[in-house]
Amino acid sequence: MSKFLSQEWLDELTATVNAHEGFTGAVANVNLTLQFVVTDAPEGAESTYYMRVADGTAQARAGEADDADATITNDYATASAISRGELNTQMAFMTGKLKVSGNMAKLMMNQGMLTQFAAATKDMPVEY
């Protein structure tokens, strides 16, 4: 079990989504890079990471992407609630707990991928 927002968690996240048939089917023709910023991540956690989806696979990496299509910003409580499946991203966005900047149209065009991402990661064992 990996610690949320650790390098180990990013590696497990990459492996988990790439092993999920629904996710890989949803990203077959997707080219998208999402930057994530967790404003109050605990010490030792990755406060910025990104997920790049291309060529039918995804890679989650620590740091900043040079070419992010959209940036998703939230606090640790929101990020961990979404990760645990206690809060969905749409509700977090609608209630102002999650902010999105960048190419909203491209993000909205890939809602199927985001739905499958949630399905792929919902049972991933994570320590918070």
In order, the DSSP letters of 21-48 are: HHHHHHTTT--EEEEEEETTPPTTS-SE
CB atoms within 10 A of CB 37: 18
pLDDT for residue 71: 98
pLDDT for residue 81: 94
Phi/psi class of residue 91: alpha, beta or left (left: φ > 0; alpha: ψ in -120 to 50)?
Answer: alpha
Distance (Å, whole) CA 23 – CA 114 = 8
Q: What is the mean pLDDT of each successive set of 10 residues along the chain, which is 128 residues long?
A: 97 98 95 97 96 96 97 97 90 96 95 90 93
pLDDT for residue 10: 98
Contact (Cβ atoms closer than 8 angstroms) between residue 67 and residue 53? no
pLDDT for residue 85: 87
CB atoms within 10 A of CB 127: 10
